[in-house]
Structures are given as C-alpha cells and as structure tokens.
Amino acid sequence: MRKLATLKRLFDDRALYCQLIVTRRCNLACGYCNEFDAVSKPVPYEELIRWMDHLIDELGVTIMDFLGGEPLLHPRIADLVRHAHEKGCWTNIITNGLLLSDDLVEALNSAGLDSMCVSIDRVNPTDFTHKGLRPLRRKLARLRERADFQVECNAVLCEETFDEFEELVLELKALGFPVRCGVRHYEGKLDLNEAVRERLEWFHSHFRHWRIAPMMDLHRARIDGNAPEWKCAGGYKFLYIDEFGTVKACSQVSLREPKHVLDMSVADLKANDHHKPCEKECGVSCVIQTSLITANPIGYAARCAQHLIQTRGQGVAYGGFQKASTRRRAEREAEKTGVGAGT
C-alpha cells in the first residue's frame, strides 16, 4: 500500500516528501551550518502529531524526514517515528550520529524506522565541521550490528573537506555503508567549481548509488555553463516544515505566501507549482531530486537504471548492509506474527 501511495504522488497534485524539524537545537556547532541553535526546546510532541496527521491525511505525504538541529535530541523521536510509520509513511532520520546508543537504536527498530542518513564530512573533526568519522567509528560498527533499518552516510564536499574526502569515502565504502555526496551551498546557492567537479567525478566513478546520475548530469551541465531548465517542486511536492509549523520551499527559501502547515490545502500546494528565482543556483539536493523525479518519473528512473548498468561491479552495490538490516527486520516481524521469515 505504501508503494502504491507513493506512486500516486508522482501523478497527482498532493505532496510526496516532507522534511519536519522536530528541534532546532544541535549538540554540534559546525561553521558552515545555518540550520541550528544551542538553546531551542524540542517542538512539543502533541503539536508535531497534529502536523504529521495533516501532512499525511490531508496533503498526501508518504515520505517523511525527521530533522534538526539534531533530531535525536527530541526526547520522543522514536514515538514520532512510530506514529508516521503506523500511518504508512517511509520514515527517515538525518543525524550526526553522535547521540546514538544501543538502547536508542533498539527503540528506533521497534518504532519501525525505515532508514537513517548519518552526516559525516571528514575523517577528523575541525571547527568548520565537527562531523568527523573518527569519533563515530565505534557507533557505526554497532549500528551495522543492531540496526533493522537502512543506513547510509552523507558527506558535504567543499574546499574545507577536500583533503580527506577520498579517504573518508573509501573507509565508509570498506565498512559497507552506501555514501551520498552533497555540495556545500550558501543560503541555497551551490558552491560549484572545477575542483569540486574533479572530486565529484572521482566519487561518481568509485561509488554506485541509484540517485546519483541525474544530480551529476545537472552539476556537470552547470559547471559547463549549460544548466538545463527545471522547475522547483518546493512547497508543492516537497515540503519543509520549520519548528514553528511554517511551510517553506526548502530549508533556505520561504514561499511567496507562507502558511502554517495546518492551514495548507491541496489547492495551496498546487499554487506553489511554479518556477522560483533561486532555481538556477539551487544547491538543495533533496528539493532538486524531488523536482526531477516528479516532473519526469519515467525519464528519471531510466537514467538511474542506465547508471546502475554502466557501473555494475564498481564500488558498493546498494545491498550489503541494507540486505542484512532487511533480513533482521523480516525476522523481527516474523517473531511478532509467528510466521517464519523465509516462508
């Protein structure tokens, strides 16, 4: 049913994907980040539940990210995941991973979390980014052993991370974690140059990821000065809900007519289906990907399939750890129902 609902979102006027800020507070203070503070209280659980119900039941959301700040600072993060999961959403947490514990992983397993993206920018933390692999190695190893959900890592590529980029990617690859690579942006504007392109091309040749090809095509065209036209789906198919409940086009850009999530209707979503002035320099990959896939689902899928065929045998296939976590989840569900996982 969940896959069917998601497929419908590609062809109707309801929203597909939502990023929900559950707290603006973060346990880190990375120099390039403008999406955190050190003092905010978590958004009240009951308030978030009302927002989630409206997003799912009225606006059609089938994919929900829980963000911060650092979302693991919310004391009821597992309960939030459980609520979205029980309503049929694919649930994902984007985290720096430093607050992970065995007990929390088990709580997220029980809640039905589908996936987690761990942000790691360098091997060794710096003032620019505290998200280093070195303090996370032990936690990642435990995550591999215990998580029932999919796990991938995301690295931000920029001049301050160039020196350790290849080392970071290769170590994560050796650990069996799929890796996504984003390019730093300032207030939504992409920081692209030839040096970034060289490392993106290296990454593209060493790592296999079904979503990478359309984004790489766009980055190459932009660097060459031939950026294709695309239409931002922010506020339409993609929704960013800040800690006050305001719907934004993305983490960096407000809508022309901001509204509270509880006041949003499907007609309001459709009204945001228009070109936006920030498209030319946009660097918010989640918005770009959602826009590309909903504008041309068949073309997007064909380009991803072409990439997977061309890179067969390279890097880490989108399996390994995912397959292990999927097997553990099946075994857990079998224990609940009394049916063997292999039947």
Produce one character per residue of 242-270: b if its CB has 16 or more CB atoms within 10 Å, e if not. bbebebbbbbbbebeeeeebeebeeebbe
Q: Is residue 30 part of a domain?
A: yes
Residue 174's pLDDT band (cuts 50, 70, 90): confident
Domain ranges, residue 161: 2-336
Give me the pLDDT at residue 282, please: 86
Q: How many domains does the chain have?
A: 1
Q: Is residue 341 part of a domain?
A: no
> Which residues, other chains included, contact 159 with Cβ-Cβ below 8 Å and sequence gap of 6+?
195
Q: Is residue 175 part of a domain?
A: yes
- pLDDT at position 312 over 80: no
Residue 336's pLDDT band (cuts 50, 70, 90): low
Q: Is residue 343 part of a domain?
A: no
Q: Is residue 199 part of a domain?
A: yes
Q: Is residue 151 part of a domain?
A: yes
Q: Is residue 81 part of a domain?
A: yes
Burial (CB count within 10 angstroms: exposed 0-12, middle 13-18, buried 19+), residue 226: exposed
Segment 130-167, tens digit of pLDDT: 899 999 999 999 999 999 999 999 888 888 888 999 99
Give me the pLDDT at residue 186, please: 65
Q: Is residue 325 part of a domain?
A: yes
The tokens describing 309, both together, are 């065929």
CATH classification at residue 74: 3.20.20.70
* Structural Rg of the chain based on CA atoms: 19
Which amino acid does the sequence have at 332?
R
Q: Report, as an integer, the average pLDDT of 31-48.
A: 88
Segment 198-235, tens digit of pLDDT: 888 888 777 666 667 787 788 788 888 887 788 999 99
